[in-house]
């Protein structure tokens, strides 16, 4: 292993300093190390061969200077030529072997590193999908994505770069020092005495580089967040409506300018660092030639030994530098692993039962009780709330301060927002929830598909507690359309098929026709294959909402929840969609949340929710006659002046 070039030394120091601000205060605790090794054991044979080959490459690199010294001695002794030829062939053979071993080692390194990235990413991705909605309500998306990218890659370096570097450089250092001592212990001792001069620049300048790199990373992260928020369709619209381009530009330029200034300082520090290392290396090489040459002239050492010492010296300081930075690299990797493990250690609040129950009428082995194509008759499933109480979980239960990008998590939570909710929706009936904003209507609806779990009581489908159903069964049984139904930056067909991946084009067209979207999609350039943009921004608000309703029609679940499903529509579209919904929900169990009372007047029962309690219940006529809260809401909405 030869001494690194100035460029590689610069890269080494920069990489080591990149996260030193985070890693300097982290301890190498046993639990983290054991978990790190648990991921490595999945590819243990590749890792073992990788380490063995790293040692062989180091040994080959140390033997070459010794053979070179023997060639010099043979030349000065006048032969024989055959020895010189054989030694030269041996050096060539070592070079070929080292090249082959290096290529194999690089392949193994890539396999180990990429395999680790795959294992970590899939583990985090799969785990994040099990976390509750409360987690995503609090987490910054960019911070979470960073765990799957930056931190996973940082963790991977621990095995593919740092571990092999530590082993190979340690072996190379031991062999190099051992061989140098056998040649001349005096020169070896003097060379090692120069080591403090060699490491001081690394320590002093390394600390400054670490602080600057950490500051630059913070500024880059802030710029990335600003760009992510401003370059989205919603953020760009907000800035154009209320923001100031000059102010936005000035704030961004201030960050970018600081990164520019840091880049200049880092460049000068790196150049100073490399210059100092080059100077010390030159002084050490001069010492070897001077002292070794004097001993050779005096008869205490041969010329070949001087050449071997000089070549070995170039292989001494490279490993020393890398080993000096190894702890910083390891700490950086540990920080990356800890940040990944933070996410993996979050406990899912919503868990699937070990032995899920089946709904009455559900076919064995199917996804659930639904399993019906659009337009088919769904099995009858009743819905009931049994004395339900609910409190939102605290931030400590569902989130991380580092993912929210706050210093301390919000400790609020645990206070009941629903109290004694008790009602039943018989199979095939419709019950409506009305009330003022913030009364708890949407919270009640979110308990049915287990976006949250009840704190007390139970939510039942066909007499079975939803917590006793499998996730697949629950998803197939309950369908929900929210006020801001989310659409993916994909095609219309893909947005619909997320509800039923196996649906045919004919079934998609049927759902689209009943959602009154046929003409809209007919005007699009690629029909069902049209990409609708982030959150569906290429469609109007009413068209987006109708597309989410079409998705529900395609799924055709036996239990339907509509949370302000027609709120984004004008009166004409609302009437058309309401007719389509009436047709699609025939024979199904429906829970409707509505602000406009005109949409729920025909419900079998209307519940008035206030302050997390059911304040009134009855039909439209009964509630009007009672003259209570519902009647007051009705007068307010239908007042003529």
Average of per-residue pLDDT across 311-340: 73
- DSSP code of 233? H
The answer to whether residue 19 scores a pLDDT higher than 50 is no
- Exposure letters 534-550 (e unless 16+ CB within 10 A, then b): ebbbbbeebbbbbbbbb
Residue-wise pLDDT for 45-82, tens only, equals 887 888 788 888 878 878 888 888 888 888 888 878 88
- Which structure tokens are listed for 282? 């030159």
- Give the pLDDT confidence of 504-551 residue by residue, as tens digits: 888 888 888 888 888 888 888 888 888 887 777 778 777 888 888 888
Query: What is the enclosing helix (H) or strand (E) of 217?
Result: helix 195-231
Q: What is the pTM of this model?
A: 0.71
DSSP 8-state symbol, 5: P
Residues 97-127: pLDDT tens digits?
Answer: 989 988 888 888 778 878 888 888 888 889 8
Mean pLDDT across the stretch 173-192?
81
pLDDT at 623: 92
Segment (H or E) for 563: strand 559-563
Nearest to 115 by CA among 45, 31, 167: 45
Specify the 3-state DSSP secondary structure of 602.
coil
Query: What is the enclosing helix (H) or strand (E) of 615?
Result: strand 613-618
pLDDT per residue as tens digits for the range 424-482: 999 989 999 998 888 899 999 999 999 999 999 999 999 999 999 999 899 889 988 88
Residue 611 — pLDDT band, cuts 50, 70, 90? Answer: very high
Task: Say yes or no to pLDDT of 93 above 80.
Answer: yes
Residue 468 structure tokens: 């006793």
Higher pLDDT, 610 or 70: 610
Q: What pLDDT shows up at residue 210?
A: 63
Chain centroid to CA 278: how far?
41
The pLDDT of residue 368 is: 39
SS3 letters across 26-64: CCCCHHHHHHHHHHHHHHHHHHHHHHHHHHHHHHHHHHH
Residues 6+ apart with CB under 8 A from 544: 485, 487, 535, 536, 568
Q: What is the rounded CA–CA span in Å between residue 83 and residue 455? A: 86
Of 241-255, 272-286, 538-552, the one with minimum mean pLDDT is 272-286
Q: How far apart are CA 114 and CA 93, in angstroms?
A: 31
- Cβ neighbours for 498, distance < 8 A, ≥ 6 positions apart: 488, 551
Report whether pLDDT(31) > 80. Answer: no
Lowest mean pLDDT among 190-204, 287-301, 417-431, 595-609: 190-204
Q: Residue 199: its pLDDT value, please?
A: 64
Instruction: Report helix, strand or coil for 523.
Output: coil
**pLDDT exceeding 90 applies to what percent of the chain?**
16
Structure tokens at 46: 């590749």
Distance of CA 177 to the CA centre of its chain: 44
In the DSSP assignment, the letter for residue 147 is I
Exposed, middle or buried by CB within 10 Å (0-12, 13-18, 19+), for 440? buried
What DSSP string describes 285-343?
HHHHHHHHHHHHHHTSS-HHHHHHHHHHHHTTHHHHHHHHHHHHHHHHHHHHHHHHHHH
Q: Report the sign of the C-alpha dihedral through residues 102, 108, 114, 116, in that order.
A: negative
- Give the three-class secondary structure for 140: coil
Instruction: Pull the structure tokens for residue 529.
Output: 């294959």
Phi-psi label, residue 463: left if phi above 0, alpha if psi -120 to 50, beta otherwise: left
Statement: residue 1 has pLDDT above 50: no
| pLDDT band at residue 610 under the 50/70/90 scheme | very high
Segment 195-209 mean pLDDT: 65
**Residue 13 structure tokens:** 């120091």
Residue 615 pLDDT > 90, yes or no?
Answer: yes
Q: How confident is the model at residue 5 (pLDDT cuts 50, 70, 90)?
A: very low
Lowest mean per-residue pLDDT among 10-19, 138-147, 218-227, 459-468? 10-19
Q: Which of 137, 138, 21, 120 is nearest to 339 (CA)?
A: 120
Region 570-598: mean pLDDT is: 75
Instruction: State residue 331's pLDDT score.
Output: 67
253-265 pLDDT per residue, tens:
888 888 888 888 8
Which pLDDT band holds residue 624 (cuts at 50, 70, 90)?
very high
Sorted by where each starts, the structural domains of the chain and their CATH numbers stand as 6-344 (1.20.1560.10), 426-442+470-638 (3.40.50.300)
Average pLDDT over the chain, rounded to an integer: 79
597 Cβ neighbours under 8 A, 6+ residues apart: 434, 620, 630, 633, 634, 637, 638
> What average pLDDT does the segment 269-278 reach?
73
Interval 328-348 mean pLDDT: 79
Residues 6+ apart with CB under 8 A from 54: 105, 164, 167, 168, 171
Please tell me the predicted confidence (pLDDT) of residue 303: 84
Enclosing H/E stretch for 578 = helix 571-584
pLDDT score of 449: 92
């Amino acid at each position: 292993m030869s001494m690194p070039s100035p460029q590689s030394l610069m890269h080494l120091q920069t990489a080591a300093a990149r996260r030193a601000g985070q890693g300097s205060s982290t301890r190498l605790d046993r639990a983290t190390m054991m978990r790190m090794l648990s991921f490595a054991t999945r590819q243990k044979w590749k890792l073992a061969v990788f380490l063995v080959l790293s040692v062989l490459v180091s040994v080959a690199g140390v033997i070459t200077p010794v053979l070179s010294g023997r060639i010099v001695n043979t030349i000065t002794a006048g032969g024989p030529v055959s020895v010189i030829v054989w030694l030269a062939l041996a050096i060539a053979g070592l070079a070929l072997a080292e090249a082959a071993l290096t290529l194999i080692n690089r392949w193994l390194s890539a396999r180990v590193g990429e395999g680790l990235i795959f294992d970590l990413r899939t583990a985090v991705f799969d785990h994040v999908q099990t976390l509750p909605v409360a987690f995503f309500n609090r987490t910054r998306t960019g911070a979470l994505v960073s765990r799957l990218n930056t931190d996973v890659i940082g963790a991977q370096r621990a095995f593919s770069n740092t571990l092999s570097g530590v082993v190979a450089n340690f072996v190379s250092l031991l062999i190099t020092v051992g061989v140098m001592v056998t040649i001349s212990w005096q020169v070896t001792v003097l060379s090692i005495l120069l080591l403090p001069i060699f490491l001081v620049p690394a320590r002093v300048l390394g600390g400054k580089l670490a602080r600057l790199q950490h500051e630059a990373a913070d500024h880059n992260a802030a710029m990335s967040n600003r760009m992510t928020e401003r370059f989205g369709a919603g953020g760009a619209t907000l800035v154009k409506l209320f923001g100031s381009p000059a102010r936005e530009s000035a704030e961004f330029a201030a960050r970018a300018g600081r990164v520019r200034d840091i880049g200049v300082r880092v460049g000068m520090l790196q150049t100073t660092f490399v210059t100092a290392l080059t100077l010390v290396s030159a002084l050490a090489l001069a010492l070897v030639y001077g002292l070794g040459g004097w001993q050779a002239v005096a008869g205490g050492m041969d010329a070949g030994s001087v050449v071997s010492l000089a070549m070995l010296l170039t292989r001494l300081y490279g490993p020393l530098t890398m080993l000096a930075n190894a702890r910083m690299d390891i700490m950086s990797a540990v920080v990356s692993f800890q940040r990944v493990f933070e996410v993996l250690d979050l406990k899912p609040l919503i868990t699937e039962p070990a032995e899920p129950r089946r709904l009455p009428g559900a076919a064995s082995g199917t996804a659930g009780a639904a399993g019906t194509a659009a337009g088919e008759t769904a099995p009858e499933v009743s819905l009931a709330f049994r004395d339900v109480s609910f409190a939102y979980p605290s931030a400590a239960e569902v989130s991380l301060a580092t993912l929210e990008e706050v210093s301390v998590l919000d400790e609020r939570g645990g206070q009941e927002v629903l109290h004694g909710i008790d009602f039943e929706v018989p199979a095939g009936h419709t019950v409506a929830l009305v009330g003022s904003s913030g009364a708890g209507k949407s919270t009640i609806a979110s308990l049915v598909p287990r976006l949250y779990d009840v704190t007390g009581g139970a939510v039942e489908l066909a007499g079975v507690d939803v917590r006793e159903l499998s996730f697949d069964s629950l998803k197939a049984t309950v369908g929900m359309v929210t006020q801001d139904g989310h659409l993916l930056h994909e095609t219309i067909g893909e947005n619909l098929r997320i509800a039923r991946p196996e649906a045919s084009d004919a079934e998609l067209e049927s759902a689209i026709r009943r959602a009154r979207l046929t003409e809209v999609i007919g005007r699009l350039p690629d029909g069902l294959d049209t990409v609708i943009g982030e959150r569906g921004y290429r469609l109007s608000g009413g068209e987006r909402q109708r597309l989410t309703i079409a998705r529900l029609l395609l799924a055709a679940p036996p239990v339907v929840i509509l949370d302000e499903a027609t709120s984004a529509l004008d009166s004409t579209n609302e009437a058309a969609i309401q007719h389509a919904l009436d047709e699609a929900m025939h024979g199904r169990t429906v829970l409707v949340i509505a602000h406009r009372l005109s949409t729920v007047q025909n419900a079998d029962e209307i519940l008035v929710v206030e302050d997390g309690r059911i304040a009134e219940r009855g039909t439209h006529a009964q509630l009007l006659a009672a003259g209570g809260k519902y009647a007051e809401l009705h007068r307010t909405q239908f007042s003529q002046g």
